[in-house]
């Protein structure tokens, strides 16, 4: 949340490295354990993955960001897995986030509920950071998905009545 006050951040709905690692543990090679990031003198309840709403997830160091970008280019399996996990156009948002982190020489941290888009009334969205720094592509994808689901539900209810 703090980072979002100073630089852009990215939104995807329902996809996260934490979830991918549950399905495919081999992706843990791209993550840095929190114990290596936070001094041991500080109590650290972090679980190295998303475990609930309003929490941080995995951290990809700057070198791990570069490695996963290289692997996306060179390893068709990595590309396939990430495209499948970040489906419905969200892969482009992930790639944009990874590319921005690489260009800035920073890592990438996942977190939940930094922004909670209101798909019916976007101006009423909730944000715990600076909403103006949220890249809008992922939010628009979510709004489009909800709009499509509502249109399908409306068509189905009209057919049944």
Q: What is the CA radius of gyration of the chain?
A: 17
What integer pLDDT is reported at residue 44 of this predicted model?
A: 57
Mean residue pLDDT of the chain comes to: 90
Look at the block and give the residue holding tokens 């490695």.
67
Question: What proportion of the chain, given as a percentage, has pLDDT over 90?
Answer: 60
Residue closest to 115 by CA, chosen among 91, 101, 100, 132: 132
Summarize the confidence of residues 44-50 as an average pLDDT. Answer: 72
Q: Is the pLDDT of residue 109 over 70?
A: yes
Written in H, E and C, the secondary structure of 126-160 is EECCCHHHECHHHHHHHHHHHHHHHHHHHHHHHHH
Strands 56-60, 126-127: parallel, antiparallel or unpaired by DSSP? unpaired
pLDDT digits (tens, 9 = 90+) for 145-154: 888 888 888 8
Summarize the confidence of residues 90-111 as an average pLDDT. Answer: 96
Summarize the confidence of residues 107-128 as an average pLDDT. Answer: 91
Q: Name 134's Cβ contacts closer than 8 Å, sequence gap at least 6.
A: 4, 8, 9, 10, 11, 114, 115, 127
Please give the Cα distance from 75 to 73 (Å, whole number): 6
pLDDT digits (tens, 9 = 90+) for 6-40: 999 999 998 999 999 999 999 999 999 888 887 76
Q: Is the pLDDT of residue 136 over 70?
A: yes
Count CB atoms within 10 A of the CB of residue 151: 10
Question: What proportion of the chain, given as a percentage, has pLDDT over 70?
Answer: 95
Look at the block and give the residue holding tokens 């209101």.
118
Summarize the confidence of residues 126-149 as an average pLDDT. Answer: 91
117 or 63: which leads in pLDDT = 63
Dihedral angle, C-alpha 145, 151, 157, 158, nearest 10 °:
-170
Tokens of 160: 């049944």
Q: Band the pLDDT of 43: cuts 50, 70, 90.
A: low
Residue closest to 79 by CA, chosen among 67, 65, 61, 91: 91
Summarize the confidence of residues 99-122 as an average pLDDT. Answer: 93
What integer pLDDT is reported at residue 72 of this predicted model?
A: 97
């Amino acid at each position: 949340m703090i980072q979002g006050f100073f630089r852009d951040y990215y939104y995807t709905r329902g996809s996260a490295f934490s979830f991918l690692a549950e399905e495919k543990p081999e992706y843990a090679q791209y993550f840095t354990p929190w114990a290596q990031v936070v001094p041991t003198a500080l109590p650290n309840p972090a679980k190295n993955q998303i475990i609930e709403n309003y929490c941080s997830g995995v951290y990809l160091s700057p070198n791990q960001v570069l490695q996963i970008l290289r692997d996306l280019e060179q390893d068709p399996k990595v590309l396939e897995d990430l495209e499948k996990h970040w489906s419905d156009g969200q892969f482009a948002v992930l790639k944009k986030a990874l590319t921005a982190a690489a260009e800035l020489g920073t890592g990438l941290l996942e977190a939940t509920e930094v922004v909670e888009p209101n798909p019916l009334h976007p101006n009423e969205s909730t944000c715990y950071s600076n909403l103006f720094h949220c890249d809008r592509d992922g939010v628009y994808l979510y709004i489009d998905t909800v709009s499509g689901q509502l249109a399908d539900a409306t068509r189905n209810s009209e057919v049944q009545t």
